[in-house]
Structure 1
C-alpha cells in the first residue's frame, strides 16, 4: 500500500517537501480519508506540478492500477517536466538580463538625444536673438534654419510615448519568455518603469551641466 511505501521513503532526499510528506504519511497512517489527505498535501505545497502528478497517481490507483507502475510513470513524467523547467529558466534568465540592459540603454539614449536637441535648439535661439542687429538679417535667417524650438514639445511627447511602449513591451516579453504566474507582470513592470523613471530624472540634469554654453 501507499502507507507501507512511504514508511520506506528516504525523507532526507525530498528537500522542502519533507514537512508536507510527513503530514501526508501521518494522515494516511491514522486512517484518514486518502482523498482528503492528498488534497491537504496538494494545497499546502501550492505546486501545479504536484497537483497534476498527485491527482494522476491517486485517480489511477482508484481505478485499479498498479501503484508501483503508476508511480514510475508519474515520477518519470514529473522529472522530464522539472528538467524542461530548469532548461527554460536557464535560457530565460539570460534573456531577462539582456532585455533589462537593452531597455535601460534604449531609454537612456532616447532621453539623451531629446535633451541634446533641446539644448541645441535653446543655444540656437539665444544666438539668433544676439545677432538680430546684423545687417539684412542674413545671420538671423541662417540661425533660424536650425531653430526647432517650436517642435520640442512634440518631440518630448513622441519620446515619452516611445519610452512607454518600450516599458510595456519589454515587460510582456520578459514575462512570456520566463512564464509563470501573472504577478510577474507587476514585478517586471515596476522594474522597467523604475529604470525609465531613473533615466528621465538623472539624464536631463547631466546634459544641462555638460552642454552649458555662454552666448
Structure 2
C-alpha cells in the first residue's frame, strides 16, 4: 500500500522547501551553489527526494526565475498603480516599495550577478528592466509628464534604485529618509506635502 501523501511530503520535503533552499543558496553563495547535492545537504534530505518535485537543476532554476519576478517586478509595477492623490504621492508609493521590503533587493542583487554568467538570465533581467521602466514611465505620464520627460524621469528613478542595490550601498535609514523629499522633487519636479510624507512614513513603518 502506498504511504499517505502527508508522510511522503514530510519524508522528501516539499516543493516549496526545496525552492526555498535554492533561494537561500543563491542569496548566500550565488547560482553555482544551487546544486542538487548542495540543496539536499542543506535540507538534510536524500538527493533522490529532489526529483519528486523537480525534473532537474534547470527546472529549479526556472522556478527561481519565476519567484524573482514575483518578488521584484510584480510589486514594483503594482506600486506604480497604487492609489495616490498627487504625482508626488505616486512617487512616494514607488519609493515605499523599495524601502518597505516589498521589492526583494537581495534577490535582485543575486539575480543580476547570476545574469553575468547566463545569457538567458541576462535576457530575463533586460526584459524586467524594460517592464519596470515602462510602468514608471506610464505612471509619470498619468500625472502630466510628456513622453520624453516621463522617460528620462523614470530612468532617473530606476537607475538610482538599482544603483543602491548593485552597489550594496549601506546608508542609515534616517539619512535615506531625510533625502526622500529631495529625491521626490528631482523625480517629479514637485516637493511632497507634509501629509503625504506622513502617510509614506506610516506605510514603511518609520
TM-score by shorter chain over 0.5: no
| Bigger share in helix | 1
- Return the index of the structure with the highest Cα Rg: 1
TM-score (normalizing by structure 1): 0.26
TM-score (normalizing by structure 2): 0.27
